[in-house]
Amino acid sequence: MSAQTKDTDPKETVPPMDPVAFARNMATVASQSQKLVGDFLARQAGKTGNQPFDPLNISGAFFAVMKSFAADPGKLMEAQFSLFKDYMSLWSRTTKRMMGEDVAPVVVPEKGDRRFRAKEWEENQVFDFIKQSYLLTSNWMQRTVHEADGMDPHMQRRADFYAKQFADAIAPTNFALTNPEVLKETFNTNGDNLVRGLNNLLEDLDRGGGNLSIRQTTDNFVVGKDIATTPGKVVFRNELLELIQYSPTTAEQYEIPLLIFPPWINKFYILDLQPKNSFVKWATEQGYTVFIVSWVNPDASLADKTFEDYMRKGIFAALDAVEAATGSSQVNAIGYCIAGTLLSASLAYSAATGEYKDRVKSATFFAAQTDFTEAGDLQVFIDDEQLGAMEQQMRDAGGVLEGSKMATTFNMLRANDLIWNFVVSNYLMGKEAVPFDLLYWNSDTTRMPIALHMFYLRQCYRDNALAEAQMKLGGKQLDLSKVKTPVYFQAAKEDHIAPAISVFKGAKLFGGPVTYMMAGSGHIAGVVNAPAAGKYQHWINDQKLPETLDEWQADAVEHPGSWWPAWNIWLSERSGAIVPARVPGEGKLPALADAPGTYVLTKAGTLNGKK
């Protein structure tokens, strides 16, 4: 009997299932699963009593929802009846379709939802019913939670976020028996995909030390060979950073150097992935003397390092080193993400004290926030209960937050793309990871010192102290309105970490000339968008910042492609005269090592270079 059906491409033949091979693979899966469950229970039994039962305080969010429903049971009954009517409509239309009628669906996936891209979700009546039933339930659950009355706005946002997390987790695509692609692969391979997938799962658990560390890409990238390859030298090093000066690619350069501070929650080479998309390489080609900070991957010995330490031994130490290397007392600085917040605070400190005043001629901020009232979904992780649980976890880990914890948080913000997509591919389809430079960078995590990280979360996300001129460094109160340095804010339209509206509100706090620009895409692709790629777009509005982002957008002009050239025009006007190109190591600072240096090579799973 042929296994080919009328829907099958005639060029493709599906081999018949081998019952013996299938039974053997299922026995292997059962045996491995038993071991997996046993290992999990053993790990749970061995956990210390210090670990909180609910570190994300999910129960608090849903208790608030249930309290709202209890206060108005009629509203809940009305919502349940609405879902019942939708189900009846789905049953009716499904029956008509089974009888041969052409009927419109009750509900369809949102545009861009790639989970249901397989043709079976449309063509097969059973899978179409499963899909629509899930979408009805998922949408109903999220809508009902969102419409709960009388909830605190912060608690409401948290409830909405976790309702979506739950809805994403129970999608039929995440289960073997309700995913047509997985069923097809299981039939075609006699279940070998499930064996491979279980082996992938066990390897990821082993790699995570008992915690699931989902492999998003291959591990065969070599930093300095495959990525982070722009030539340069480490010219300065202290306990918190290595400073890299890049080799010139032009005979002459602008007099004022460009000093880049990347976020310490990831590694610097997001701005130097490969030559085709390297911001660093592109900047050298525009005639800038480019320096970049490579932050240390801290261990327990640096647990007490503070936000002020990162200002003094980070921002200020780098300024001094650049002056020694080039003779220039001024720099044009860039702060990306959290490093932009630090750069902003440092400028406010200089304005308040006179220390390092006028050393930064201009400041550019990539996806950086100074006002956190609109800080996006990351705010759901910030309340006193969660912060207390995190602080305890960091103390138990020797005073650092392991990089895997931070990675999990960011992955949850795009769970379908960064979690469930890989669960299906790696564990249900049994596929091997493929090389992807950006995902390799995403998985090359760093640790956070407890003093630094808790100050940042409490002062910025919880208290919004920098925006409200309540933050203090060195005993001095910081007021961004006193900063007169020209600033350029880059935001991204689809940024889920530093939303465009949040960046806009922060830009309005500065007291000097402010330029705001919005790029297409998100937190990474909105920044790392080389002109040669010809991707996305950006919006420019040269007028003084209006009151709201909507007003700014109404008068903004859309331009195709990368925003880098437009920013280059802005920066070149603030970069001084043209001077002979500087070669790393030929100034007062000798070359200590080749780029990308040594700090970037320390993995989050190692301490002091050792397992």
Is 460 part of the annotated catalytic residue set?
Answer: no
In one-letter notation, the amino acid at residue 205 is L
**Among the options 337, 367, 378, 518, which is catalytic?**
337
| Cβ count within 10 A of residue 491 | 29
Compute the distance between CA of residue 297 and CA of residue 548 in angstroms, rounded to an integer.
39
Query: Which among 411, 373, 407, 342 is positioned nearest to 505, based on CA atoms?
Result: 373
> Going by C-beta distance under 8 Å and a sequence separation of 6 or more, which residues neighbour residue 390?
55, 401, 454, 457
Whole-number Cα distances in Å, 465 to 153, 189, 346, 407, 553: 19, 58, 14, 26, 28
Residues paired with residue 336 on neighbouring β-strands, in sequence order: 366
Q: Which two tokens stand for residue 402?
A: 């392991």
Long-range contacts of 90-99 (CB under 8 A, 24+ apart): 90/129, 90/132, 90/133, 90/136, 94/125, 94/128, 94/129, 97/125, 97/128, 98/125
Whole-number Cα distances in Å, 146 to 143, 155, 496: 5, 11, 19
Compute the distance between CA of residue 477 and CA of residue 475 in angstroms, rounded to an integer.
7
Compute the distance between CA of residue 374 and CA of residue 498 in angstroms, rounded to an integer.
9
Question: CA angle, corner 511, sides to 506 and 512, nearest 5?
Answer: 105
Residues paired with residue 246 on neighbouring β-strands, in sequence order: 232
Per-residue DSSP letters for 528-554?
Answer: ---GGG---EEEE--SPP-SSHHHHHH
SS3 readout for 107-143: CCCCCCCHHHCCCHHHHCHHHHHHHHHHHHHHHHHHH
258-261 β-sheet, strand order: 557-560, 537-540, 514-519, 487-492, 360-366, 331-336, 258-261, 290-295, 241-246, 232-237, 593-594
Per-residue DSSP letters for 419-437?
Answer: IIHHIIIIIIS-PPP---H
Surface-to-core class of residue 601, CB atoms within 10 Å of its CB (0-12 exposed, 13-18 middle, 19+ buried): middle
Q: What share of the chain is helix, strand, coil (3-state, %, to 5)?
A: 50, 10, 40
Compute the distance between CA of residue 287 and CA of residue 576 in angstroms, rounded to an integer.
12
Surface-to-core class of residue 557, CB atoms within 10 Å of its CB (0-12 exposed, 13-18 middle, 19+ buried): exposed
Active site residue ranges:
337
